[in-house]
Structure 1
Amino acid sequence: MTRIISGRAGSVRLDVPASGTRPTSDRVRESIFSALEAADLVSGARVLDLYAGSGALGLEAISRGAASVDLVEKAPQAATIIAANAARVRKAVGAAAEIRVHRRAVDAYLATARGAWDLVFIDPPYDLSATDLATCLDRVGGLLADGGRVVVERAARSEPPHWPHSLAPLREKRYGDTTVWHAAVGDSEDQPRPRSQS
């Protein structure tokens, strides 16, 4: 069973599509968020979750204090499940958090998207080609705020992402048959993200 791990919506159950998605395991999700929170990259962040599946990554960010999340998923069944999961998380965290579900293909969404996001999760299907992932990363690199971070999750057997010049790889970690890469805008290092002024 998939649940929100921590934060205001901790233990809230998340439904998962019956097929076509690979929910991020609790172990991997906790490791990802431990690294992000250590760098002060979650609280108040504007988050984009691409190939969202069940929405677990983006909704975990909301539970842990992110300001907003855009969840992008083209599969009709998965998008419906994300909307239901989002409703549960929204009820737990209150009206302050903005949660938007977009039933669109990632490339179509990014073609018209207007940033800037502080944190982007990319967990594409295993069959997404390295070329298509590189195109996605190139577009995402232009939509990140200063100090923004990208987290890519892929099968361990996949080749490493081809990073555009706008993104600098920071870390790579393998968890069984899954590998997670972090990259940041330019040559950013693990430093707290500048806060937006209101």
Structure 2
Amino acid sequence: MRIITGKARGLKLTVPKNMDVRPTADRVKESLFNIIGTKIIGAQVLDMFAGTGNLGLESWSRGAASITFIDESRESLRLVQSNIVKCRAEADVKVIKGSAVSVIESLYRAGSRFEFAFCDPPYNKGWVQKVLAKLAEFPVISEGGYLIIEHSRHDEMGVLAPCFELVRQETYGETLLSFIRFAKT
């Protein structure tokens, strides 16, 4: 697993020794960032279920202004911290230990807003629906911002709240990328 392009291009990230964390495959990540394009430059980014920090650090490398990582696993947070140091991104990141569903409300109440939010939870565990419900209640995504969910093709999102518009979906084998735009209702 590596940073594909930008200021940390080619840097190999520390990966887990076991399969508790499922990092985004390089081909999926490259497609995702090709779709986003230059919109990531200067953006505030939220990386929920951070795992290794792969998506957030790729965003940072491509010019995002700041990244907030959330994960509840100590091992994942250790990997995220290690990769932040490798990228020399310490000044532009914040790392929060906790469940993404719980932390969203805290971020909202603190006034944090993000142009991009990545949600890459464990597959088929109901996390996608929980995150969507929490974001509808506590909208930390800026008006016109994007929530990008990496999930199993079998993990249904359910009916989206009126504040969300599904604008694109791409399939990569078992993986589905859903691009959802936020608009206040």
Does the aligned pair in 2 maintain the 1:134–1:163 contact within 8 Å? no
Does the aligned pair in 1 maintain the 2:45–2:64 contact within 8 Å? yes
What corresponds to 1:113 in structure 2?
107
What corresponds to 1:139 in structure 2?
134
**How far 1:19 moved relative to its partner?**
2.8
**How far 1:120 moved relative to its partner?**
0.3
What corresponds to 2:27 in structure 1?
27
Normalising by structure 1, we get a TM-score of 0.84
What corresponds to 1:14 in structure 2?
13
Which of residues 181, 185, 188 is equivalent to 2:182?
185
**How far 1:158 moved relative to its partner?**
2.1
Q: Deviations over 1:89-148 (max 9, x none)?
A: 126xxx7x511111211122112113210000000001421xx42231233341111220
Letter of the aligned partner of 2:103 in structure 1? Answer: Y
Letter of the aligned partner of 2:80 in structure 1? Answer: I
* Distance in 2 (alpha carbons) for counterparts of 1:176 and 1:78: 25
Match status 1:101 vs 2:95: yes
What corresponds to 1:151 in structure 2?
148
Match status 1:128 vs 2:125: yes
Letter of the aligned partner of 1:23 in structure 2? Answer: P
* Distance in 2 (alpha carbons) for counterparts of 1:29 and 1:107: 23
Does the aligned pair in 1 maintain the 2:114–2:140 contact within 8 Å? yes
Match status 1:170 vs 2:167: yes
* Distance in 1 (alpha carbons) for counterparts of 2:9 and 2:146: 23
Does the aligned pair in 1 maintain the 2:124–2:154 contact within 8 Å? no
Does the aligned pair in 1 maintain the 2:42–2:65 contact within 8 Å? yes
SS in 2 for 1:53: coil
**In structure 2, do the counterparts of structure 1 residues 152 and 20 end up closer, same or farther at CA, with 3 Å as the change threshold?**
same
Runs of 4+ in 1 over 6 A off after TM superposition: none
- Percent identity at matched positions? 30
**How far 1:7 moved relative to its partner?**
0.5
Letter of the aligned partner of 2:76 in structure 1? Answer: A
Letter of the aligned partner of 2:94 in structure 1? Answer: R
Letter of the aligned partner of 2:134 in structure 1? Answer: R
Does the aligned pair in 2 maintain the 1:134–1:164 contact within 8 Å? no
* Distance in 2 (alpha carbons) for counterparts of 1:48 and 1:12: 21
Does the aligned pair in 1 maintain the 2:124–2:152 contact within 8 Å? no
Normalising by structure 2, we get a TM-score of 0.89
Does the aligned pair in 1 maintain the 2:129–2:157 contact within 8 Å? no
What corresponds to 1:89 in structure 2?
87
| Mean Cα deviation higher: 52-61 or 152-161 | 152-161
* Distance in 1 (alpha carbons) for counterparts of 2:46 and 2:71: 11
Q: Structure 2 unaligned segments of length 5 or more: list them.
A: none
* Distance in 2 (alpha carbons) for counterparts of 1:22 and 1:156: 15
